[in-house]
Amino acid sequence: MKRILLLTSVLVSAMLFSFNSSAQLQDGSIAPNFTITDLDGNQHELYDYLDQGYTVIIDLYAVWCGPCWNYHNTGTGHPNAGALKELYNQYGPEGTDEVIVMGIESDASTPAGTITGGGNSIGDWTVDVPYIMANDDQIAGLYNLAYYPTVYGICPSRVVTEVGQESVANLYSFSEGCPSATEGTDGGLTASQDAEPIACGDYDLKVGLQNLGTEELTSATIEAVINGNVVASTDWTGSLTTYQVADVEVGTVNVTSDTEVTYNITTSDDLEANNSYTEPINAADLASSTITVKVITDYWSQECSWDIKDGSGNIIDSHQYTANDALETHEHEVNLGSNADCFTFTIYDDYGDGMYYTGAQTTGDPANYGYEIIGSTDDNWIIAEGDGDYEDEDFNGFRIDPAASVSEEDAQTELSIYPNPTNGITNVNFNLAQASNVTFIVYNMVGQQVIAENLGQMQAGEHRDVIDMNDLEPGVYLMNFTIDGEAVTKRITKTR
């Protein structure tokens, strides 16, 4: 729901270059494959270049984006202006033949023809450009683009890193630092591309298996370990050439509380250092049988709708907003029934850019919009929440269990995080009913532990702790907060 209405150029810039920071691909994840058609009609597949041993540098830009233009062009004020052209000339197929460079206009709302000027384009982006140039309306969603420009470096191993608007020397240094395949057989584990984000009852354990060796990988035994116990194991067979990745289903486990799973390759290969991968499993929060859906709409409310589905996919309740519902807080009471079940709340945007209105009435901050799922009539019992920072849709999960104790429900009211989103420092408030041992761990979205703190034994009563996220990249993080072994997981968004 981004629109530009009577804005100064300064405010336009502030809005347009940070529109979806929570969604950005995490460094170290596997780059999604794509095929683009360049301006001359030739097709280029990412994995085809990677399989040939190239490092691929991708500049995702928009024709109206000033910082994109400054980095793209020589002599426009950016200290590394024209670096991509020079990188291609020196190290591309006409140079040392080590690097492929792609410039992709990624804003689906701008016509393809504006790459050569006209419309809202700053100028002709094709002048004196030796590398691949294309217009593609799908790659922004595929790569969860958060802001323009975004410059990614992708190693032959398919691992993606946001390298940024760097100099020729730094971009080439990144390429030289890409790992080489191990001689022989080497299976490595990474995040599954199809893992379920929320567990509610039975949870399918999936992990990515990658061939990091020079020889074909045809088999591997993978086990899943939770709380020190092997809960599932599978013997995978197939055919992976160097750097190819396959999702492997290891088994199914019943999950009722937040935990973490470690996947291990137990068969021998030539390098065991990458045979283990750990990630959190986030259990759906406990809800009451009657909940309140609170939605704060932006100016383009007619593009917003939501629904709640039960574990069988049946719609329990839904709502479509109209233009008359703009810039208001809406509350809807929903009865989930009395049977134990899992539920999914999904909020949609027909335009494909979430809640993000910039205009005279608001500051244009997506944190001003969004939703909360509230338990019973207690505004402090926030079961699930999200801001306006999404594209087509955002979702969350929760469950009801009539057999759950009141104390388990009350546990959901005892923890709050603010500000959230945060640009660096956030506070954790919690209330202990009795003296308890308290720890918290913050994970990134590929399961890596980035912050850990053991607060030790704390007295009963209200407490506040500060989390310093200044050194972390923008994105979504999961905080696992444990009180005497009982865990609660909350989502924290780090902005720029």
Q: For the segment 28-52, what is each residue's pLDDT rounded down to a tens digit?
A: 888 999 999 999 999 999 999 999 9
CATH number, domain with residue 398 = 2.60.40
CATH number, domain with residue 170 = 3.40.30.10
Domain boundary among 132, 149, 176: 176
pLDDT top residue among 226 and 375: 226
Residue 123 lies in a domain: yes
CATH number, domain with residue 470 = 2.60.40.3080
Instruction: State residue 389's pLDDT score.
Output: 83
- Reported as a pLDDT band with limits 50, 70 and 90, residue 409 is very low
Specify the amino acid at residue 330: H
Residue 333 lies in a domain: yes
Asked if pLDDT for residue 84 goes beyond 90, the answer is yes
Asked if pLDDT for residue 366 goes beyond 70, the answer is no
Q: Could you tell me if 449 and 475 lie in one domain?
A: yes
Q: Could you tell me if 211 and 107 lie in one domain?
A: no
Q: Could you tell me if 166 and 252 lie in one domain?
A: no
Rounded-to-integer distance, Cα 411 and Cα 489, Å: 12
Q: Could you tell me if 258 and 295 lie in one domain?
A: no
Asked if pLDDT for residue 402 goes beyond 90, the answer is no
CB 291 within 8 A of CB 374: yes
Q: Could you tell me if 388 and 444 lie in one domain?
A: no
Burial class of 221 by CB neighbour count within 10 A (0 to 12, 13 to 18, 19+): middle
Residue 5 lies in a domain: no
Look at 116-125, 404-413, 456-465 and tell me which has the smallest mean pLDDT.
404-413
Asked if pLDDT for residue 222 goes beyond 90, the answer is yes
Q: Could you tell me if 56 and 123 lie in one domain?
A: yes
Rounded-to-integer distance, Cα 85 and Cα 127, Å: 11
**422: helix, coil or strand?**
strand
Structure tokens at 155: 């190693």
- Reported as a pLDDT band with limits 50, 70 and 90, residue 411 is very low
Residue 126 lies in a domain: yes
Asked if pLDDT for residue 19 goes beyond 60, the answer is no
Region 460-468 average pLDDT: 84
Structural domain span for residue 464: 414-496
pLDDT top residue among 116 and 461: 116
Q: Could you tell me if 230 and 263 lie in one domain?
A: yes
Rounded-to-integer distance, Cα 132 and Cα 127, Å: 12
pLDDT top residue among 130 and 374: 130
The widest CA-to-CA distance across the chain, in whole angstroms, is: 69
Residue 152 lies in a domain: yes
> Backbone dihedral region of 328: left (phi > 0), alpha (psi from -120 to 50 degrees) or beta?
beta
Residues 176-207: tens digit of each pLDDT = 999 888 889 899 998 888 888 788 878 899 99
Rounded-to-integer distance, Cα 56 and Cα 445, Å: 23
- From first CA to last CA, the distance across the chain in angstroms is 20
Domain boundary among 176, 208, 228: 176
Q: Could you tell me if 153 and 37 lie in one domain?
A: yes
Helices (H), 17-97: 46-51, 66-72, 83-91
Q: Could you tell me if 487 and 469 lie in one domain?
A: yes
Burial class of 311 by CB neighbour count within 10 A (0 to 12, 13 to 18, 19+): middle
Residue 212 lies in a domain: yes
Q: Could you tell me if 37 and 169 lie in one domain?
A: yes
Q: Could you tell me if 381 and 270 lie in one domain?
A: no
Residue 213 lies in a domain: yes
Q: Could you tell me if 272 and 377 lie in one domain?
A: no
- Reported as a pLDDT band with limits 50, 70 and 90, residue 17 is very low
Domain boundary among 388, 409, 430: 409
In the chain, how many domains are there?
4
> Backbone dihedral region of 119: left (phi > 0), alpha (psi from -120 to 50 degrees) or beta?
left
**Helix (H), strand (E) at residue 426:** strand 425-432
